[in-house]
Amino acid sequence: MTAPIDGDTCEQVAALIRATQALPPDRAIRPEHLLFYDLAFSSMDLLDLLFRIEDHFGVTIAEGSLYGLARGDLPDAQFAEGGMLTPLGRERLMAVLSDTPAAIFPERITTDGLPRFATVGAIARLVDHLRGEGR
């Protein structure tokens, strides 16, 4: 997830975002754009986008993919507790979403809201990661 973004993947993800949000073709979508902050995504928009990505790229993005990537090999109890990320879990999430401005992350982050902090580039990297795994 920290690998450089594949420009072609990013362009394809941007096209899928335009389709999801019914944006005009000339609407600029950049890798650093935050889905929920810059592109006015709702949780249903995100689900719609993930389905489009699955259809387009032939990958499967299971619920909790970002959670799993951020947690890595950390024991679950050290990553999150009571539905909230631990301070260490928050650090891990910020490392995975390294192109998201640090100021966006609140001190307390609920585990079911992690995609809220993703950029277009992070989604493209997730796609490349899953394609690399052959999923």
Partner 1 sequence: MFEWLHTLAIHGDEARAVAEARVPADHPFLADHFPGVPILPGTLQIELCAQVAGPLVEELAAGRDGGERWAFLGMVRSATFHAPIKVPATLAIFATATRAERDSAVVQAVLSQAVDAVDCRVELVMMLRPPEPGWDEAVRVYRARIAALKARARP
Residues facing residue 110 across a β-bridge = 84
Distance between CA atoms of residues 3 and 71, nearest Å: 17
Q: How far is the CB of 4 from partner 1 (least distance, A)?
A: 30
112 near partner 1, rule: CB under 8 A: yes
Instruction: Read off the tokens for 49.
Output: 């986008």
For position 62 contacting partner 1 by CB under 8 A, the verdict is: yes
Tell me the two tokens of residue 86: 């631990």
Least distance (Å) between residue 74 CB and partner 1: 20
Interface region with partner 1, contact rule CB under 8 A, candidates 24-32, 61-69, 83-91, 124-132: 61-69
Q: Of 128, 131, 132, whose CA–CA distance to 4 is shortest?
A: 128
Which residues contribute to the site for partner 1 (CB under 8 A)?
A: 44, 47-48, 51, 62-64, 112
